[in-house]
Structure 1
Amino acid sequence: MLRVLVTRPEPGASRTARQLRETGFQPILLPLTETVALPVDAGVVPDAAVAVAITSANAVRHAPEELIATLAALPCHAVGKRTAEAARKAGFLSVSEGSGDAEALADSIAAALSDKAIVYLCGRVRFQGFEQRLKTAGVGVHAVETYDTLQVGYSDETIVALLSSQPVDAVLLYSAKAAAAMQVLARRPALQGLFERTRFFVLSTRIAAALDDTANERIRIAAQPDEEALLALLRSAS
């Protein structure tokens, strides 16, 4: 049974672990990041905004109720299935679901809302390409940061105990921040032996770029930047 390290934060980590067990893998939870809510004033929403964009379910989960109430009647453009589900659960009345690709979502919004203003619910740590693509197309983007992503630290002893001193077969990486943390962790002298043959399964080329070049032959990139594609890649490679 392949041992798979799940590095994403909760609540997603436990959900991923269940899927892995159901398909014959042995998941090991080691969140390398955590998300925390940021204070947000609902009054920051501009009156001219005609829609809402969301590229992360965390942006909705951490948004205060007052902010959601202010935005709920606006059309909500979600990057993919999970984000759309989170938006509907939070109270958005009209949610469109994208393919899971942020740049494709930006293109779709730009085609419909050029010269208009939108609210972008997002994290403090994020890929800037989505906003830049919209702004280039003439869409006014008002970013509202609802959460921050922080790195989680572990001692060598904690990780060795968690892994039972046994090597890891595969690591799932969902963000560039987690990939960078994973790289540092795998280089520690006390832990190097546990990751010498590990394969890294990542959501995108941007995340892969955060890993050491020496691990290139062990990096696998999902066909689409979503978990379904990532887990399919893991299954096909096992």
Structure 2
Amino acid sequence: MLRVLVTRPEPGASRTARRLQDTGFQPVLLPLTETATLPVDAGLIPDDAVAVAVTSANALRHAPREVIAALAALPCHAVGARTGEAARKMGFSSVVEGAGDAEALADSLATAFPGKAIVYPCGRVRFPLFEQRLEAAGVLVHAMETYDTLPVRHSDGTILALMSGRPVDAVLLYSAKAAAAMQVLATRPALQGVFEKTRFFALSARIAAAFDDSGGKAIRVAEEPDEGALLALLPAPR
């Protein structure tokens, strides 16, 4: 059975593990990042905001209840189905789902709301192009940082014990920060045997770029930035 290392944080890690098990893989959970809630003042929400944009379900999960209550009446434009589902569960009544591409969502919002103000619940660590595209089109983006992404460090001994000394067949990378951390782990002398023949799979080209392949580690990129496309890259279970 192929062993697949899942590097994303909870709660997504366990969800991915179940999906892998259901399709015949052996998941191993090793989150390389974790999310931490940041303080947010609901009073900072602009009165003239006409919509909410969300590119990460974590941004909603970490938002205070009073912030969600203040935003829930506005139309919510979610990057994809998973984020849209999270928005509905949090109480948003009007949710528009994109195809999973943040840049495409930015282009859509730029067309719909030129000169208007939107609220963008987001993480402290994020890719700037989304906001840059909107601001270039004259959309007033009020970024509301609800969470931070922090590294999780693991000792060689912890990883070797988790792997039971056996090699990993594949690694799934969901963020640039995790990809950079994984590249360091893969080159640790004590872990050479674990990752010597491992294949690496990234959710997007930006994430793959954070994985320095100078050590000869090949990496493949999902055709679309969603988990289904990422898992489709895995070799068939044996």
Q: TM-score, normalised on structure 1? A: 0.97
Alignment of structure 1 residues 1-238 onto 2, 5 Å? 1-214=1-214, 218-235=218-235
What's the secondary structure of 2:127's corresponding residue? Answer: coil
CA deviation vs aligned residue, 1:38-72 (integer Å, no higher than 9, x gap): 00000010111100000000000000000000000
User: Letter of the aligned partner of 1:28 in structure 2?
Assistant: V
* 1:237 Cα offset (Å): 9.3
Aligned-pair Cα RMSD in Å: 1.3
Structure 2: 5+ residue stretches without partners: none
Structure 1: 5+ residue stretches without partners: none
**Kept in 1: contact 2:25–2:237 (CA 8 A):** no
User: Letter of the aligned partner of 2:222 in structure 1?
Assistant: A
- Structure 1 CA distance for aligned equivalents of residues 184 and 27 of structure 2: 21
* 1:236 Cα offset (Å): 5.9
Q: TM-score, normalised on structure 2? A: 0.97
Question: How many residues end up aligned between the 2 structures?
Answer: 238
CA deviation vs aligned residue, 1:57-96 (integer Å, no higher than 9, x gap): 0000000000000000000000001100100000111000
**Kept in 1: contact 2:24–2:237 (CA 8 A):** no
What's the secondary structure of 1:190's corresponding residue? Answer: helix
What's the secondary structure of 2:47's corresponding residue? Answer: coil
**Percent identity over the alignment?**
75
- Structure 1 CA distance for aligned equivalents of residues 175 and 212 of structure 2: 15
**Kept in 1: contact 2:2–2:237 (CA 8 A):** no
What's the secondary structure of 1:233's corresponding residue? Answer: coil
